[in-house]
Amino acid sequence: MNWKEQSLTKIPELTRLMESSEETLNPCTRDFYNSRTRRIQLDDRIVYFFRYDGAEEGEEVISWRELKHLRDSKQWNVIRHPMVLNFVNEKLLSQAYFYVAHIISYLIFLLLLSSYIFGKNNGQDILATLFLVVFGFCLIVKCAVKLQAGKISKWFIIAYSFNVITYIATFLFIWTPLLFSYDDYNSDLKHFITWLLPIIAIISAWINFLYILRKSPYGIYILMLSRILYSFSQIAIIWIPTLLAFAFAFHLVMRNSGQKPWESEEMFSKNSTVSQKLLMILQAITKTSAMMIGEVDADNVLERKEWIPNLLLLAFEISTVILLMNLMISLAVGDVNELRHSAQEKLLDIKVNFAIESLQLSESCDCISTYVNLLHRKETNNILVIYNDGTSFTTWMNVKFGDTSNFDEQNTSKMEHNEGMANRDSNRIPLESVKVNYENGKIDKNIGDNEHQFNEGKTLKLLHNIYHLQFPSRDRRMRLLKRGIVGRAIQITLDGAIIQLIESIESGIEPFEGTINGRSSTEIGEDPESYGRKFARWLIGLDWSNLLQL
């Protein structure tokens, strides 16, 4: 089965886009994007040129279907290709003002809910209800588009259910007091409901607001918060039994001290109910948890002037305040440091998903494309300029690659050239002592297993994969030059080291040869972007300086 048949099974639109083209590369591979990408390396910047034009006029070779296929199959090495990243980034920048409107509207909604602490009037109720109607309508449209696009994930179901609960709780919080005012039955239950609903509504709305901010420049801190919460859930198996043990121990030794919440006369009285007893236990647990974070309040224990309470307090301070709490802090610090290295990868996943949803929604509204320039109809800028200081801009020009009439001939000649270079290098350089551990996209820590000699028969098989090189220790050592997008180059000397080589996202991109706007000059000019465009790039754009070094 060739790639067209596979694409027809998994992504039906791919074959339609390429059926009249002379290309035979799979549109979801690095080879395809390399064939449509060129670059120019200058002293202060890198310039990328892309060809997004498809077989039909007005259509591009990348759509939400390709992005969804790459994301679902976890082909992040392909998604990190500059051509795909530029496509995603352009769609994100086009949606920046919509994203700003979403943030502002939800912030106003959150402040409106918080304003109920000062009083409640009809104007607040009507305005909050209007927000709920708009948010609910958008939620229904989003669900319909996702169902129409295909399979939905479990995380979407969880997030969708949480939004539904938030809006239902808010609606009931607004209108149940009016409903309960018609009669006086079950007044205690009604008071409890009207007291609990605003708490649920405000806290869930705050969580939703943080979820919206994940795509902003402050999204990394929200990811840190969720990562620390996940780590706490893992260590809770130690924290909860420790908390319960000391809470009950302090309750036993302090129950006749006359100090709250340790005093338990109500708990052991004959008229006390089960809820009162549970409340006393909960207060003891709450007091102990406050003591665990440093609020020990030792005066109440010292006033007892007894041995056991003092020894228990010392054991509590050592085991919880010093050991357990410092363990939790060290885990949180370690998680934050680890997340700093992988944050861009997680943010890329979030933003790719947002771009897919935006394109799906835009395509579902294609009936109004005559009146509105929809997102999926906008032409993607085909020139990307990245400076060494991390700043970037994009523009569109009429770019023609040299010898672009037949990509098959280019790919064949490229493979023949690589094979010739491999044969030439393997004959000239003695590489018998260089051992290679080959892996197909997975990192293997067992360097000594499955080793192969690096020769002409293995050279071409190592393309687009991860592999380890082991160099022998000799008099003449190997020198490497580490060059990044930002900062100066660093020279590294290796002596008998084992290094892991991962093919970079720029590998396989040929230098630019062609014309720009009908001229052979490669001069792009200065940054043409407006301040609004720069704001959009800061708010929701991709961080090129980090993504190109993933």
Report the range of poorest mean pLDDT among 35-44, 312-321, 540-549. Answer: 540-549
Give the tokens for residue 410.
């280019």
Do the bridges between strand 498-502 and strand 478-482 make them parallel or antiparallel, or are there none, so unpaired?
Answer: unpaired
Strands 498-502 and 383-387: unpaired
Which H or E element spans position 108? helix 96-114
For the ranges 28-32, 71-75, 208-212, 372-376, the lowest mean pLDDT is seen at 372-376
Angle at 340 between CA 541 and CA 84, to 5 degrees: 35
Q: Output b/e per residue, 435-458; b: 16+ Cβ within 10 A.
A: bbbbeeeeeeeeeeeeeeebeeee
Say if residue 333's pLDDT is above 60: yes
Instruction: Report residue 466's pLDDT band, with 50, 70 and 90 as the boundaries.
Output: low
Backbone φ and ψ of 19, nearest 5°: -65, -30
CA angle 535, 540, 544 (to 5 degrees): 95
Q: Rounded to two decimals, what is the model's pTM?
A: 0.75
Closest by alpha carbon to 251, among 225, 213, 228, 279?
A: 279
pLDDT of residue 27: 72
**pLDDT surpasses 80 at 95:** yes
> What is the three-class DSSP state of 142?
helix
Helix, coil or strand: residue 492 = strand
Burial of 101 (0-12, 13-18, 19+ CB in 10 A): exposed
Angle between helices 154-180 and 122-149 in degrees, nearest 10: 160
- Classified as helix, coil or strand, 52 is coil
Highest average pLDDT, of 84-98, 115-129, 464-478, comes from 84-98
Q: What is the dihedral of CA 145, 147, 151, 157, to 10 degrees?
A: 100
Take residue 421 and report the two structure tokens written for it. Answer: 């270079």
Instruction: State the pLDDT confidence band at 352, using cuts at 50, 70 and 90.
Output: very high
* Mean pLDDT, rounded, for 411-440: 48
pLDDT at 258 over 90: no
- pLDDT surpasses 50 at 429: no
Measured torsion, CA atoms of residues 297, 240, 277, 268, in degrees rounded to the nearest 10: -70
Contact 49, 399 (CB under 8 A): yes
297 vs 474, more confident: 297
Per-residue confidence (pLDDT) for residue 145, from 0 to 100: 86
Is residue 495 scored above 70 in pLDDT? no
pLDDT of 7 > 50? The answer is no
Distance in angstroms (rounded) separating the CA atoms of residues 508 and 418: 11
Identify any residues that bridge with 400 across adjacent strands, giving them in sequence order.
Answer: 515
R_g of the chain computed on alpha carbons: 31
Lowest mean pLDDT among 64-78, 203-217, 519-533: 519-533
Contact 61, 27 (CB under 8 A): yes
Q: For residue range 118-154, what is the model confidence (pLDDT) as tens digits?
A: 888 888 889 999 999 999 999 998 888 888 877 788 8
CA atoms of 357 and 361, how far apart (whole Å): 6
To which H or E segment does residue 49 belong? strand 45-50
* Nearest by Cα to 346 from 212, 209, 223, 503: 223
22 pLDDT exceeds 80? no
Q: Return d(Cα 94, Cα 262) in angstroms, integer.
A: 60
- Neighbouring residues of 258: CB distance < 8 A, sequence distance ≥ 6: none
- Average pLDDT over the chain reads 77
Give me 314's structure tokens.
């010392």
Summarize the confidence of residues 179-199 as an average pLDDT: 80
Of residues 508 and 103, the one with the higher pLDDT is 103
Q: Express as a percent the part of the chain with pLDDT over 70.
A: 72
Pick from 207-221, 330-344, 432-446, 449-463: least confident:
449-463
Per-residue pLDDT tens for 276-310?
Answer: 777 788 888 888 888 887 766 666 777 767 788 88
- Which parts of 150-273 fold into alpha helices (H)? 154-180, 187-212, 219-253, 265-268
Give the C-alpha separation, 220 to 211, whole Å: 11
Q: Are 254 and 301 in contact (CB under 8 A)?
A: yes
Enumerate residues 6+ apart whose C-beta is below 8 A from 65. Answer: 11, 13, 14
C-alpha closest to that of 305 among 257, 339, 264, 351: 257
